[in-house]
């Protein structure tokens, strides 16, 4: 039975526990975690454990395997409480909007070639609406439209595999129906989740902005919180550096902003403590990130934080309404 375990090569060195507040809280290493199905939904799935593990064991995969099993044993439904709002919104994303795929220019020219569109994801709109509006405007001026849709990652992470497959299938159909051949990805989570799941060209926002000469080039030192999905490959960070040759980056000792893996439902206090840890690391200096969810969560903690995109577009993000209302508004967005 041990040969089937993801953690079968664990040497019990304890490095993962020292680097993960979740594992440390429950006095576990990754092998111990795999024996605790009751904690399947408590893991933030940030990937820090894999980064530090000498045997390359991935706690994300352990949590996902246990969540899959729990849902499979419960007739394909999540057996835990606290996710009804998320499921209602994201199983069939209720705020999707494909009315702005065509720009006025492409409509006038009756353009039939494949289209490039901005794919914002959900939380970019939730936490950074002013930056979103500016980016949409700049992209539209370059004949790039925008779609508002959800990648489905939260549904996948909860263990609802049939639903997540349907989300991908339906997303691909909507893209094909609208003759979309390139997605310009804003959200790190959407980018990494979709890049091996959909058959369409994807380019990150920083590469596209450089190509189109959009935004100013940043200079100086940035104290950076890297979003979870980009820490291993660093594709987006490298793109940011390529677009901003005169910045230097100091990366923090990151875990998670507290939003990952939908774990805040179970671990609200632990989620907050992760942000407090970041607050202590930066010691009143300004923090930068390139994930809108991280931006929103850190801002809610009173941390002086900015998003690289906001800086490049010279937007000062001021919160005017709550995140749900912000997402909702884009369902009705139409090009002016």
CATH number, domain of 279, equals: 3.40.50
**What are the C-alpha distances in Å from 28 to residues 17, 22, 41, 193, 268?**
6, 9, 15, 28, 19
Beta-bridge partners for 116: 182
Residue from 270, 269, 299, 272 nearest 287 by CA: 299
* Alpha-carbon distances of 214 from 209, 217, 243, 312, rounded to whole Å: 5, 9, 10, 8
Please give the Cα distance from 287 to 73 (Å, whole number).
Answer: 43
Q: Work out how many domains the chain is built from and give that number.
A: 3
Q: Is residue 9 part of a domain?
A: no
Same domain, 189 and 325: yes
Paired tokens of 89: 């919104």
Backbone φ, ψ for residue 119 (5° rounding): -110, 105
Three-state secondary structure string covering 147-169: EECCCCHHHHHCCCHHHHHHHHH
Residue 107's pLDDT is what?
Answer: 55
Q: Are 306 and 326 members of one domain?
A: no
Residue 78 in domain: no
Whether 2 maps to a domain, the answer reads no
Cα(302)–Cα(189) distance, integer angstroms: 24
Each residue's pLDDT tens digit in the chain (336 positions)? 577 899 999 999 999 999 999 999 999 999 999 999 999 999 999 999 999 999 999 999 999 999 999 999 999 999 999 999 999 999 999 999 999 999 766 555 555 568 999 999 999 999 999 999 999 999 999 999 999 999 999 999 999 999 999 999 999 999 999 999 999 999 999 999 999 999 999 999 999 999 999 999 999 999 999 999 999 999 999 999 999 999 999 999 999 999 999 999 999 999 999 999 999 999 989 999 999 999 999 999 999 999 999 999 999 998 767 899 999 999 999 986
> pLDDT value at position 2?
72
Residue 329: the pLDDT is 95
Asked if residue 1 is part of any domain, the answer here is: no
Tell me how far CA of residue 88 lies from CA of 73, 83, 94, 148, 333, in angstroms.
22, 9, 8, 17, 21
Shared domain check, 295 and 328: no
Look at residue 38 and tell me if it is in a domain: yes
Task: Tell me the torsion sign for CA atoms 280, 282, 284, 290.
Answer: negative
CA 300 – CA 306 distance, rounded (Å): 12
**Which residue range(s) make up the domain with 66?**
15-73
0.85 exceeded by the pTM? yes
CA angle 262, 267, 270 (to 5 degrees): 115
Q: Which residues lie below 8 Å from residue 23, measured CB to CB, with a gap of 6+?
A: 16, 17, 29, 30, 33, 49, 59
What is d(CA 306, CA 224) in angstroms, rounded to the nearest whole number?
10
């Amino acid at each position: 039975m041990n040969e089937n375990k993801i953690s079968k090569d664990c040497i019990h060195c304890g490095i993962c526990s020292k680097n993960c507040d979740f594992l440390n809280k429950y006095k576990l290493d990754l092998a111990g975690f795999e024996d605790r199905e009751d904690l399947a939904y408590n893991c933030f799935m940030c990937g820090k454990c894999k980064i530090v593990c000498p045997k390359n064991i991935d706690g994300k995969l352990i949590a996902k395997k246990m969540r899959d099993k729990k849902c499979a044993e419960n007739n394909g439904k999540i057996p835990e409480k606290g996710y009804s709002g998320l499921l209602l919104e994201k199983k069939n994303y209720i705020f999707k909007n494909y009315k702005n795929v065509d720009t006025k220019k492409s409509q006038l020219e009756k353009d039939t070639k494949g289209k490039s569109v901005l794919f914002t994801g959900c939380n970019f709109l939730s936490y950074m609406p002013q930056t979103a509006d500016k980016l949409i405007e700049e992209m539209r001026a370059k004949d790039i439209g925008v779609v508002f849709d959800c990648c489905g990652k939260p549904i996948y992470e909860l263990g609802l595999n049939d639903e997540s497959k349907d989300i991908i299938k339906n997303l691909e159909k909507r893209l094909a129906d609208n003759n979309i051949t390139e997605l310009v990805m804003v959200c790190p989570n959407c980018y990494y989740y979709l890049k091996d799941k959909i058959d369409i060209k994807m380019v990150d926002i920083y590469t596209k902005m450089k190509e189109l000469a959009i935004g100013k080039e940043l200079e100086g030192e940035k104290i950076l919180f890297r979003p979870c999905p980009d820490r291993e490959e660093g594709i987006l960070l490298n793109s940011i550096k390529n677009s901003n040759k005169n910045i230097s980056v100091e990366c923090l000792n990151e875990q998670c902003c507290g939003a990952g893996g939908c774990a805040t439902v179970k671990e609200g206090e632990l989620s907050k403590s992760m942000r407090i840890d970041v607050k202590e690391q930066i010691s009143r200096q300004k923090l930068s990130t390139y994930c809108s969810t991280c931006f929103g969560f850190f801002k809610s903690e009173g941390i002086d934080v900015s998003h690289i995109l906001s800086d490049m577009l010279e937007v000062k993000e001021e919160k005017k309404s709550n995140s749900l209302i912000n997402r909702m508004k884009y369902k009705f967005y139409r090009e002016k």
